[in-house]
Structure 1
Amino acid sequence: MTAYDAHDEPAAEHGMTRRQLMRHAGWFGGAVVLTVAGGEVISQIAGARGSTAAAATGSAGTAGTAARTAAADSGTLRFVQVSDSHIGFQGPANTDVAGSFTEAVNQVNSLGFRPDFVMHSGDLTHLSTAGQFDQVKQMMAKLRTDRVFTVPGEHDSIGDAGRAYRRTFGTGTLGDGWYSFDTHGVHFVALVNTLSLEKLGHLGNDQIDFVRKDLAGLSSDTPVVVFSHIPLFAMYPKWGWSTDDALKVIALLRRFSSVTCLNGHVHQLFSKTEGNITFHSATTTAYPLPKPGRAPAPTPQVVPARQLKAALGIRSVGYHRGDRELAVKDQRLA
């Protein structure tokens, strides 16, 4: 698996060309904290302090009580998702992406608990240079957590099929950087769907075979969490916000009672439930993208400074052993 402290190595070699990247220059993502308590999924945007936007089951008050109970219970798994930091981006949509990512790191460190791990769900860098990878790795080293995991975005594989990314973050991974791990009774799968793509995300047969073998020995009541950069559902295929062969993986996940898929790439919050599978797209720490269909293309949006911070954020996720689902809490940087 690809948790890292400071040392990483290379892996396989195919992916997207610079020309392909230019076709998708508007693809980006955000930060998320998920928590599961009492079987409830709690989704909160913390622009207004302490206000609960929605709870999947029960009242907002019950959900808040459950979250506090989970936080007090040392048996609860708590992790953080951050996404689409785009270190190296230069443009009016955010003139200081390193500064906003630093704010996200500080916010993670101020959550009031130490996350079991932090996952960055892709587009760590904007142009996949060695300097940008080194910068984002040093910034994430300041996170107060024992483990940091990553998956690559398409901006992390410009011109070199992801080799520079894997040299920095690929230790212990398979193929183009996929892997799995277990903790607190939850099985995690980290996928790479940003290589070999023309428009939509793509997993490929080797990776799908990995998922098939990886899940084969698990009981159907094991909670499963899947990370990817591009959504595994058809959020907006016209803009490439989907994965062309994701249904083959979704079919393998159908037998599990609780599956949560977390992605970045789209730079905005979006949730969708299909049977036993819930999909959560994360916001970004860099800059917003338009809502699907509300612009000719998914290009960085220039907004007033105060609105920019409100569009950026992190996500925390929690799970208490024995519960069925994960609780997701989204927080703005503002």
Structure 2
Amino acid sequence: MSAPRDESGTGQPGGMNRRQLLRHGAWFGAAVVLTVAGGEVISHVGGSAGATAAADPNELRFVQLSDSHIGFHGPANLDVTGSFSRAIDQVNALDFRPDFVMHTGDLTHLSTPAQFDQVHQMLGGLRTGKVFVVPGEHDSVDDHGQKYRATFGAGSRGDGWYSFDIKGVHVIALVNTLALEKLGHLGVDQLDFIQRDVAGLSSDTPIVVFSHIPLFAMYPTWGWGTDDATQALSYLRRFSSVTCLNGHVHQLFSKTEGNVTFHSATTTAYPLPHPGQGPAPVPLTLPAGQLGDALGIRDVTYQPGQHVLAVRDRKLA
């Protein structure tokens, strides 16, 4: 993958300023389907041509949830537990049973034992083959993620990273949130893990990477980027299809660099401002009746033999 150009004025490779991000305004708050075939991305607004074809029993279908912030109290959402419960109900009401569900972090708001217990019980209500998680910075506010790993860290390595294979797809789950003084950092141990993890894979293996903070410099001023992601992604250059799915920014955004497509997910809790709209990413309080339009879930389909990966974002029902 060629190095992304710095068009942001931030000094960060691949960074974007507010003007450039607003060029992509159609991505924000929209239901979007993106089909990745042979490294080429074709995007469609949900409901238009390009949606996933009839279900194939051999295809992989999974769901991404993100940023539930269980324990948050504020006017931006007076009932985050209720909205997360509705998101779970929406997953369970899909016309397919997901092979797995991935929650991409900020499961809790203050990483208390009670909050971890509550979200663990709620995730147990998902009708799916398996539930996976990665941590957000709100899941490690006071202990470098020890309470998070005590609840969700079984089978993981290091500070909670891991990988698995399912229906021809290799999935990598990364942690870039635990050093609160340096958010958006993977570190040497995790970079070594990525390099070793993919070394034996065929270059036509589809790769899906989950993290909380984006693996590209979306808006470094707000900590919306990972400082050593370029090194991590260099190990994935030889693969024809790489998809990186993240949370953290509480809004939809998509970007393609070479063979890698990045998709930032929305939240089940509350929206954040678009980059540059205000001095800091603080929870937005929307007019009455509009919150549901800013929240949602995501489902993803991979069809073996067709080299297709489709991503669909759905507003919270």
Give yes or no for contact 2:111–2:141 (8 Å, CA) kept in 1: yes
Residue in 2 that maps onto 1:324: 307
Structure number with the bigger relative contact order (C-alpha 8 A, sep ≥ 6) is: 1
Supply the distance in 1 between the matched residues of 2:306 and 2:233 (Cα, whole angstroms). Answer: 22
Supply the distance in 2 between the matched residues of 1:332 and 1:76 (Cα, whole angstroms). Answer: 24
Provide the secondary structure at the position in 2 that maps to 1:273: strand
1:202 to 176, 185, 189: 185
Unpaired stretches in structure 1, ≥5 consecutive residues: 1-29, 46-50, 53-59
Residue in 2 that maps onto 1:79: 62
Provide the secondary structure at the position in 2 that maps to 1:326: strand
One-letter code of the match for 1:169? F
Note the alpha carbon deviations across 1:210-257, whole angstroms, 9 max, x for none.
Answer: 000001000111000000000000000000000011111011111100
Residue in 1 that maps onto 2:53: 68
Provide the secondary structure at the position in 1 that maps to 2:158: coil
Residue in 2 that maps onto 1:232: 215
Note the alpha carbon deviations across 1:144-199, whole angstroms, 9 max, x for none.
Answer: 10200000000000111100000000000000000000001000000000022435
Q: 1:130 to 1:200 in 2, by over 3 A?
A: closer
Provide the secondary structure at the position in 2 that maps to 1:279: strand
One-letter code of the match for 1:239? W
Residue 304 (structure 1) aligned with residue 271 (structure 2): no
Which stretch shows the higher mean deviation, 204-213 or 323-332? 323-332
Q: 1:107 to 1:44 in 2, by over 3 A?
A: farther
Provide the secondary structure at the position in 2 that maps to 1:227: strand
Provide the secondary structure at the position in 1 that maps to 2:268: coil
In the TM superposition, residue 305 of structure 1 has moved relative to its aligned partner by: 3.2
Residue 287 (structure 1) aligned with residue 270 (structure 2): yes
Residue in 1 that maps onto 2:225: 242
Residue in 2 that maps onto 1:23: none
Residue 139 (structure 1) aligned with residue 122 (structure 2): yes
Supply the distance in 2 between the matched residues of 1:236 and 1:36 (Cα, whole angstroms). Answer: 25
Which stretch shows the higher mean deviation, 170-179 or 190-199? 190-199
In the TM superposition, residue 306 of structure 1 has moved relative to its aligned partner by: 1.8
Give yes or no for contact 1:230–1:242 (8 Å, CA) kept in 2: yes
One-letter code of the match for 1:238? T
Residue in 1 that maps onto 2:175: 192
Aligned counterparts, 1:123-272, within 5 A: 123-272=106-255
Supply the distance in 2 between the matched residues of 1:146 and 1:33 (Cα, whole angstroms). Answer: 25
Q: 1:295 to 1:270 in 2, by over 3 A?
A: same
Q: 1:276 to 1:233 in 2, by over 3 A?
A: same
Residue in 2 that maps onto 1:93: 76
In the TM superposition, residue 41 of structure 1 has moved relative to its aligned partner by: 6.2
Q: Give the percent of matched residue pairs that are identical in Structure 1 and Structure 2.
A: 69
Supply the distance in 2 between the matched residues of 1:212 and 1:246 (Cα, whole angstroms). Answer: 13
Supply the distance in 1 between the matched residues of 2:308 and 2:233 (Cα, whole angstroms). Answer: 17
Supply the distance in 2 between the matched residues of 1:298 and 1:167 (Cα, whole angstroms). Answer: 29
Supply the distance in 2 between the matched residues of 1:112 and 1:161 (Cα, whole angstroms). Answer: 39
Aligned counterparts, 1:44-59, within 5 A: 51-52=46-47
Provide the secondary structure at the position in 2 that maps to 1:253: coil
TM-score, normalization by structure 1: 0.82
Q: 1:35 to 1:78 in 2, by over 3 A?
A: farther
Number of aligned residue pairs: give it: 287
In the TM superposition, residue 93 of structure 1 has moved relative to its aligned partner by: 0.4
Give yes or no for contact 1:123–1:156 (8 Å, CA) kept in 2: yes
Give yes or no for contact 1:125–1:155 (8 Å, CA) kept in 2: yes
Residue in 2 that maps onto 1:17: none
Note the alpha carbon deviations across 1:11-63, whole angstroms, 9 max, x for none.
Answer: xxxxxxxxxxxxxxxxxxx9x99896977867677xxxxx53xxxxxxx33x1
Residue 102 (structure 1) aligned with residue 81 (structure 2): no
> What RMSD, in angstroms, separates the aligned Cα atoms of the two structures?
2.0
Aligned counterparts, 1:8-47, within 5 A: none
One-letter code of the match for 1:317? V
Give yes or no for contact 1:287–1:300 (8 Å, CA) kept in 2: yes
One-letter code of the match for 1:277? V
